[in-house]
């Protein structure tokens, strides 16, 4: 009488998941061309290597002017400017705009030298060789500055990002040719049983033969889960043949899946192969259907044995194996293409047209899905990446109330809310710390805007600089210091010594945006200098050439300096050293990570707090001028 393998102690589903999770089926990362990257998962963070757009460009048809030449202009008393030429989109400007001059310009065209604003054509009138400007514009009006969409050095996409057409479009805009992605686990599929026949071969039903369903169904499931299926020849119920095919598959694959020959009958001997040639971790699970299941190792490969009945095999595969393959490939669990969510904040709308409102998704501390609006303008590629789907707002809708239930049409059925949503200051140490979290999303909107959004209750956390307590009830999760000042060319050829030089000398300066914490620190320093001189802050800022023209990200001013387009830029010591530039220190500022009081128990927020406690110190040590 043959020995039989009995199911004496069935494992629980939790134990089965733990056993599979203990297996290593994650392949090495690989580099793939951008054209082949759709559906893959990034293995590393990708930072922007260039600005998008790469030049200051007009955002509408009109006339490129110096803003100061239009001050005071209106319908009754227009400013008359001399026309010096025309600039078309896609060509290098051949004109320069001087005092009381203007150049006709097309939408998307490069701003000519000397011009810092565009007057829309509707507010002008040509008179011979002159143009009458009937409105005043400020420097920067109707101009998209270089890097306004994506700034060089900015954290663009993080590891674990699923590459959809939206992300690939963004990477294309950055000139990325190939990307590092998580490898696809190779999964060998072996169906056992003398009764099986491959589709297309002759079938002898009288001899009890059946077509092989499992090989093809499981292979499709593997591919859907992000794996690379490899079908092997049928293994009969003979021990030697079964051992040979399984060992061949184990040599070639990250995971071997067999179906059949896992029950307790005398002819089902596959468990013996695993016990003798590998390690059997589990035999039998307390589920229906699907009790006869094996988990173990074979050679250097992970192994899972599925039941022979197709329904049972697919049930076990989808419940236990598919999630492990998705995890190894870095893919999220699938969701439905349309979901319901509550609006995180009120959204007003009064244009009288149906609107497809782009929204991002997040979850509150109770796991309830929330939707927040994402709209950075039609020209911003990053709007697509930050949004998860759209909410259709009908033309007769004045506003969507906070807490109102909406239907979100997802961009992809695979969309999942981020584990944690943050907003606020652009900071290189924070960007690196976020890499250690699972699926974070961070919007670099500046300290001021970040605090405003946190006050409205939308994000899970905000990052802001400065020591003043924000006018909100927030929990500080952690903080650190960073050194800021003036980034100058290598060797500091102009011998810039501090703010006094910017005020008293004819130096080209590049500032940060008004929402930036760096900009606030600079403004405070200028105010202190004004007090020392017995003058006003406004008078000093007027004396600094370029003070009102702002760049987007923390590296943007420094890159202007690197390109020879400025003598000094507002920035960090870490940025100056990274780019091989000089640095004039103006002080340090405190960077604070503040949690939404309603989300402190959310798992993603707790993970962020743990990362700040455990991983911040080594991250800061990698950046010059940063300290706890």
Domains, the chain, in order of start with CATH, read: 13-27+184-329 (3.40.980.10), 30-52+149-181 (3.90.105.10), 57-144 (2.170.190.11), 338-417 (2.40.340.10), 442-627 (3.40.190.10)
Over residues 475-495, mean pLDDT = 96
The dihedral region occupied by 100, where left means phi > 0, alpha psi between -120 and 50, and beta the remainder, is left
What are the Cα distances from residue 328, in Å, to 43, 228, 229, 319, 592? 11, 12, 14, 15, 35
- The structure tokens 């002008």 sit at 124
What pLDDT shows up at residue 350? 67
Q: What is the DSSP letter of 388?
A: -
Other Cβ atoms within 10 Å of 1 Cβ, number: 4
Q: What is the DSSP string of 222-236?
A: HHHTT-EEEE---B-
What pLDDT shows up at residue 572? 97
Over residues 167-190, mean pLDDT = 93
* 432 closest CA partner among 245, 599, 227, 578: 578
Measured CA to CA, the distance from residue 153 to residue 138 in angstroms comes to 28
**Torsion angle, CA of 391/394/396/398, rounded to 10 degrees?**
10
pLDDT in tens, 189-230: 988 766 666 666 776 677 666 666 778 889 998 998 999 999
Measured CA to CA, the distance from residue 530 to residue 522 in angstroms comes to 12
Residue 264 has pLDDT above 70, yes or no: no
What pLDDT shows up at residue 290? 66
Residues 6+ positions from 478 with CB-CB distance below 8 Å? 592, 593, 609, 612, 613, 616
Over residues 444-459, mean pLDDT = 92
pLDDT in tens, 270-287: 777 888 888 989 888 877
What are the Cα distances from residue 559, in Å, to 64, 151, 217, 489, 575? 24, 10, 54, 10, 9
Measured CA to CA, the distance from residue 157 to residue 47 in angstroms comes to 7
Residue 8 has pLDDT above 60, yes or no: no
Task: Please say whether the beta carbons of 464 and 424 come within 8 A.
Answer: yes
Q: What is the DSSP string of 315-345?
A: HHIIIIIHHHHHHHHTPPPP--SEEEEEESS
Strand order in the sheet with 101-105: 117-120, 62-65, 101-105, 79-87, 130-133, 124-127
pLDDT in tens, 291-344: 778 899 998 899 998 887 776 777 788 888 999 999 999 888 776 678 999 999
pLDDT in tens, 145-171: 988 888 888 899 999 998 999 999 999
Q: pLDDT-derived band of residue 18, with 50, 70 and 90 as boundaries? A: very high
pLDDT in tens, 501-523: 999 999 999 999 889 999 999 99
Q: pLDDT-derived band of residue 266, with 50, 70 and 90 as boundaries? A: very low
What does the block give as tokens for 555? 């590296």
What pLDDT shows up at residue 387? 80
Return the bridge partners of 589, or none. 482
pLDDT in tens, 557-592: 999 999 999 999 999 999 999 999 999 999 999 999
Residue 55 has pLDDT above 90, yes or no: yes
Q: pLDDT-derived band of residue 351, with 50, 70 and 90 as boundaries? A: low
- Quickly list H helices, 36-187: 165-173
Going through 170-235 in order, the beta strands assigned E by DSSP cover: 178-181, 186-191, 196-197, 210-211, 228-231
Residue 311 has φ and ψ, to the nearest 5°, of -60, -45
Task: Please say whether the beta carbons of 585 and 466 come within 8 A.
Answer: no
Q: pLDDT-derived band of residue 1, with 50, 70 and 90 as boundaries? A: very low
Q: What is the DSSP letter of 447?
A: H
First to last CA, the chain: 72
pLDDT in tens, 389-401: 888 887 678 888 9
Mean of the per-residue pLDDT values of the chain: 88
Over residues 618-623, mean pLDDT = 97
């Amino acid at each position: 009488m043959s020995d039989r393998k009995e199911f004496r102690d069935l494992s629980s589903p939790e134990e089965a998941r733990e056993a599979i999770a203990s297996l290593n089926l994650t392949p090495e990362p690989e580099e793939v061309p951008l054209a082949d990257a759709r559906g893959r998962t990034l293995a590393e963070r990708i930072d922007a290597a260039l600005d998008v757009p790469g030049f200051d460009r007009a955002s509408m048809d009109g006339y490129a002017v110096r803003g100061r030449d239009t001050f005071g202009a209106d319908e009754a008393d227009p400013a008359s400017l001399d026309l010096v030429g025309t600039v078309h989109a896609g060509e290098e400007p051949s004109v320069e705009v001087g005092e009381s001059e203007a150049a006709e310009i097309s939408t998307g065209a490069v701003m000519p030298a000397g011009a810092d604003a565009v007057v829309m054509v509707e507010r002008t009138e040509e008179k011979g060789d002159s143009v009458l400007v009937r409105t005043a514009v400020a420097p920067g009006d109707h101009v998209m500055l270089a890097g306004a969409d994506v700034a060089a050095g900015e954290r663009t996409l993080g590891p674990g990002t699923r590459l959809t057409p939206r992300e690939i479009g963004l990477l294309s805009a950055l000139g990325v040719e190939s990307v590092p992605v998580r490898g696809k686990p190779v999964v060998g599929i072996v169906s056992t049983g003398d009764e099986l026949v491959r589709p297309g071969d002759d079938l002898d039903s009288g001899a009890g033969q059946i077509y092989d369903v499992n090989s093809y169904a499981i292979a499709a499931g593997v591919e859907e889960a992000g794996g690379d299926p490899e079908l092997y020849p049928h293994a009969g119920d003979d021990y030697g043949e079964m051992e040979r095919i399984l060992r061949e598959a184990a040599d070639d694959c990250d995971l071997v899946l067999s179906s059949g020959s896992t029950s307790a009958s005398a002819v089902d001997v596959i468990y013996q192969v695993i016990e003798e040639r590998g390690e059997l971790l589990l035999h039998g699970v307390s589920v229906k259907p699907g009790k006869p299941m094996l988990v173990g190792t074979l050679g250097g490969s992970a192994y899972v044995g599925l039941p022979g009945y197709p329904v049972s095999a697919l049930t076990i595969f989808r419940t236990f194996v598919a999630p492990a393959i998705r995890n190894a490939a870095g893919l999220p669990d699938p969701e439905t293409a349309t979901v319901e969510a509550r609006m995180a904040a009120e959204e007003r709308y009064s244009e009288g047209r149906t609107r497809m409102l782009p929204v991002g998704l997040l979850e509150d501390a109770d796991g309830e899905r929330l939707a927040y609006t994402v709209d950075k303008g039609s020209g911003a590629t990053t709007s697509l990446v930050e949004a998860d789907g759209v909410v259709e707002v009908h033309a007769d809708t004045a506003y969507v109330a906070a807490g109102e239930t909406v239907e979100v049409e997802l961009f992809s059925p695979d969309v999942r809310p981020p584990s944690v949503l943050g907003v606020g200051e652009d900071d290189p140490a924070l960007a690196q710390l976020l890499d250690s979290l699972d699926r974070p999303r961070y919007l670099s909107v500046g300290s001021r805007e970040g605090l405003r959004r946190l006050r409205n209750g939308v994000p899970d956390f905000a990052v802001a600089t400065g020591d003043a307590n924000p006018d909100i009830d927030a929990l500080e999760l952690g903080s650190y210091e960073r050194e800021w000042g003036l980034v100058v060319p290598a060797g500091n050829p102009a011998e810039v010594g501090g703010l006094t030089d910017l005020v008293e000398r004819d130096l080209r300066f590049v500032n940060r945006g008004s929402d930036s914490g760096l900009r606030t620190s600079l403004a405070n320093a200028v105010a202190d200098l004004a007090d020392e001189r017995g003058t006003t802050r406004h008078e000093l800022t007027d004396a600094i050439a370029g003070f009102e023209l702002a760049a987007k990200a923390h590296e943007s001013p420094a890159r202007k300096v690197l390109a020879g387009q400025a003598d000094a830029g507002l920035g960090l010591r870490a940025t100056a050293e990274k780019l091989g530039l000089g640095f004039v220190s103006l002080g340090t500022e405190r960077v604070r990570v503040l949690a939404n009081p309603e989300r402190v128990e959310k798992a993603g927020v707790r993970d962020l707090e743990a990362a700040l406690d455990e991983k911040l110190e080594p991250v800061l040590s990698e950046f010059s001028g940063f300290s706890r």
